[in-house]
Amino acid sequence: MTDVKAPGPAAVRAPSAVCSPAPRQGWFLQHTDPIPGWRPMHGRLRRMIAPVTFGFAAVGVGVLLHAVDPREPGNYPTCPFLWLTGLYCPGCGAMRASASVVDGDVSGAFGFNPLVVIALVGLVVMFALWTRRQWQGRPKLSITRPWVTTALTVVTVVFWVARNVPGWTWLSPA
């Protein structure tokens, strides 16, 4: 007499397991056959992709602002908030201020939107620090502390209200 085991859970297989080979770990993320001459990017080259891409994008925006001047009426649409309400938003004059900075007229840029000029300086400093950290392979820093977010929000709202106070034309995007 032979011992016959009853089919249990191990004997029951899913149809996909029977019809197709078992997937290898990471089969959807990696190519198993190396491409001749191909080497994966490692180290500094890989880390610098994002900063170089953002740098080229910023230069492209600067070239666009220099080529198509936002200070001339009709080149870009009007601010939707200004068009709907007749009030200036914190970003009104930002393109004209950025174009003035690109053209080297920083004092003229302050006349369009002083908050954007200060923000551009901060962005350039943050970009330089980020690029240096990427170059050196150091870990990323986070500026999303609650007090930073609160301070930026308060400054933006105060600027928004102040530039719409009647008689304070020095903050309006002239």
Q: What is the pLDDT of residue 141?
A: 73
The pLDDT tens digits for 136-163 are 888 777 767 788 889 999 999 999 999 9
Q: What is the pLDDT of residue 147?
A: 87
Contact 131, 54 (CB under 8 A): no
Contact 170, 159 (CB under 8 A): no
Q: How far apart are CA 103 and CA 87, in angstroms?
A: 27
Residue 102: closest CA among 64, 67, 62, 54: 62
Q: What is the pLDDT of residue 121?
A: 95
The larger pLDDT score, comparing residue 37 to residue 64, is at 64
- 3-state DSSP call for residue 119? helix
Q: What is the pLDDT of residue 40?
A: 56
The pLDDT tens digits for 99-127 are 999 999 999 999 999 999 999 999 999 99
Q: What is the pLDDT of residue 52?
A: 96
Q: What is the pLDDT of residue 11?
A: 53
Q: What average pLDDT score do residues 68-90 get?
A: 92
The pLDDT tens digits for 19-51 are 555 445 544 444 455 556 656 567 888 889 999
pTM assigned to the model:
0.69
Write the DSSP symbol of residue 172: S
